[in-house]
Structure 1
Amino acid sequence: MAAIVSNPVSIVNATGLHARPAANVVNVAKQYQSDIKLVFKSIEANAKSVVSVMGLDVSLGDKIQIKADGPDAQAAITALTQVISSGCGEK
């Protein structure tokens, strides 16, 4: 099965994906069986690891993509796109 890649998703958090929003992304990603990566400037981060997600060092306005490979890949991409584009649970 080939990996599915999302359209670019803009980071809307004023401080980027720091600890709390990264943890929120990871919590959503862990609900899916698929292998899920966040991609920024050709760097891939494991979406199920807070340290990996924070290591992307994304900031407000940056665009990332979500790549998933597995039985629930499309559902994972849809859920993560929604979480990230809505601010990762932060206001």
Structure 2
Amino acid sequence: MVEKELHINNASNHEFELATLIVQQASQFDSMIRIIMDDKQVNAKSIMGMTYLSLMDGDTVTVTCSGQDEQKALVALQELLEK
């Protein structure tokens, strides 16, 4: 398992747009990917879970990835969230 704290620096116009981008990116990997913010922890492949977090530019989250392609998944999500 790999884990990293990330600061969201993504210029998406709406929180739903960012949630959709995360789900699309996470779904490309076999690993279990979780996004943690405050006391909330959700499956990054779940649009309902991601919209529950209401992520916005400036938020800080912890991303955990566990599985065969965990390192690639973490790098891809870091590139998406911190671009």
| Pairs aligned (count) | 83
Bigger proportion of residues as helix: 2
**1:11: how far off?**
1.8
The 10-residue stretch of structure 1 (47-56 or 12-21) with the greater mean CA deviation from structure 2: 12-21
User: Structure 1: which 5+ runs fail to align?
Assistant: 87-91
User: Residue type of the partner of 2:79?
Assistant: Q
TM-score, structure 2 normalization: 0.87
- Say if 1:17 and 1:9 are closer, same or farther in 2 by CA, change over 3 A: farther
Q: Aligned equivalents of 1:39 and 1:50: distance in 2?
A: 15
Bigger proportion of residues as strand: 2
Within 5 Å, give how 1:50-89 maps onto structure 2. 50-86=47-83
- Say if 1:25 and 1:13 are closer, same or farther in 2 by CA, change over 3 A: same
Q: Aligned equivalents of 2:39 and 2:13: distance in 1?
A: 18
| C-alpha RMSD of matched pairs (Å) | 1.8
SS of 2:54's equivalent? Answer: coil
The yes-or-no answer on 1:11 pairing with 2:13 is: no
